[in-house]
């Protein structure tokens, strides 16, 4: 007497997929990745375990899909911000950019809990196609957003937009891990105030480090561009 809902049309299938992703996202807000199993996701999505595997070949693909969406949204958010900023006078631009980036990735963002495992876990057990599509999506965003970014800060050389995003990404990986210590480490920090130097505050460190990088490039590029009369913004 089970009412079986069957997704026959592509549209329905996409919807089903979304339901699963939503369920996984909900769980991901409650507890860390390694405490979530497929049975939980299926139950939360109101379907059978096997059904989940019809839409995602492995547990990692499912969560990488979430990461993928979040990355995409991140890129889009950056695009919106950068598009607004592009063309503004230099000094203000830097601060606005940094401010935007900092606001965009709050410590409680989903991405913060996924980024640390993208390389070490999620990408370890996925199919070739999924891997390729993910990387292609990233590349597209990287280039599009990177180009926009370069327009925000005139002193940047061509290619530094992408590089900036990659470094930023590396910093997110690092800072997010450092900012979310294990319970025992939290306890250590609680009982040993002196150690709290190592207890990173994500947003502050993130913004400061990005600022330093930009300022560093500005100086480097100025030095590099100044001497000769010819302006080559393309890095050799």
Partner DNA sequence: AATGAATGAGGATTCATTCAT
Partner DNA sequence: TATGAATGAATCCTCATTCAT
Residue 125 is a binding residue for DNA (CB under 7 A): yes
For residues 167 and 101, the answer to whether their CB atoms sit within 8 Å is no
Q: How far apart are CA 167 and CA 156, in angstroms?
A: 15
Residue 206: partners with Cβ closer than 8 Å, 6 or more residues away: 101, 102, 105, 171, 172, 175
Q: Report in angstroms how near the CB of residue 75 gets to its own copies at its nearest.
A: 14
Cα-only R_g, the chain? 21
Name which of 36 and 101 has its Cβ closer to DNA. Answer: 36
Q: Report in angstroms how near the CB of residue 134 gets to DNA at its nearest.
A: 16
Task: Looking at 86-191, list the stretches that DSSP marks H as alpha helix, in order from N- to C-terminal side.
Answer: 90-104, 110-118, 128-152, 160-179, 183-191
Q: How far apart are CA 110 and CA 113, in angstroms?
A: 5
Name residues contacting its own copies, limited to 172-211 (CB under 8 A).
172-175, 177-178, 180-182, 184-185, 187-189, 191-192, 194-195, 197-198, 200, 205, 208-209, 211
Name which of 120 and 230 has its Cβ closer to its own copies. Answer: 120
The helix or strand, by DSSP H or E, that contains position 5, with its residue range, turns out to be none
Size of the site for DNA (CB under 7 A): 25
Name residues contacting DNA, limited to 39-78 (CB under 7 A).
39, 47-51, 53-55, 57-60
Size of the site for its own copies (CB under 8 A): 59
DSSP assignment letter at 234: B
Name which of 184 and 229 has its Cβ closer to its own copies. Answer: 184
Q: How far apart are CA 179 and CA 204, in angstroms?
A: 11
Q: Which residues bind to DNA, rule: CB under 7 A?
A: 2, 4-8, 13, 16, 34, 37-39, 47-51, 53-55, 57-60, 125
Which residues contribute to the site for its own copies (CB under 8 A)?
A: 116-120, 123-124, 126-128, 131-132, 135-136, 138-139, 142-143, 162-163, 166-167, 169-175, 177-178, 180-182, 184-185, 187-189, 191-192, 194-195, 197-198, 200, 205, 208-209, 211-220
């Amino acid at each position: 007497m089970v009412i079986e809902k069957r997704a026959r049309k592509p549209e329905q299938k996409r919807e089903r997929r979304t339901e699963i992703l939503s369920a996984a996202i909900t769980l991901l807000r409650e507890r860390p990745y390694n405490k979530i199993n497929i049975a939980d996701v299926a139950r939360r999505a109101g379907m059978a375990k096997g059904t989940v595997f019809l839409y995602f070949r492995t547990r990692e693909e499912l969560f990488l899909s979430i990461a993928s969406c979040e990355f995409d949204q991140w890129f889009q958010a950056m695009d919106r911000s950068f598009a607004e900023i592009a063309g503004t006078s230099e000094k203000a631009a830097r601060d606005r950019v940094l401010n935007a980036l900092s606001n965009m990735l709050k410590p409680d963002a989903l991405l913060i809990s996924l980024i640390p495992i993208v390389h070490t876990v999620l990408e370890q057990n996925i199919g070739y196609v999924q891997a390729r599509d993910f990387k292609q999506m990233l590349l597209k965003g990287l280039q599009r957003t990177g180009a926009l970014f370069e327009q925000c800060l005139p002193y940047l050389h061509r290619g530094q937009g992408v590089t900036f995003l990659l470094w930023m990404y590396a910093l997110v990986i690092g800072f997010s891990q450092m900012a979310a210590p294990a319970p025992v480490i939290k306890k250590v920090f609680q009982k040993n105030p002196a150690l709290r130097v190592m207890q990173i505050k994500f947003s502050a460190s993130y913004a400061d480090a990005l600022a330093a990088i930009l300022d560093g490039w500005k100086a480097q590029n100025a030095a590099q561009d100044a001497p000769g009369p010819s302006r080559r913004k393309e890095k050799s």
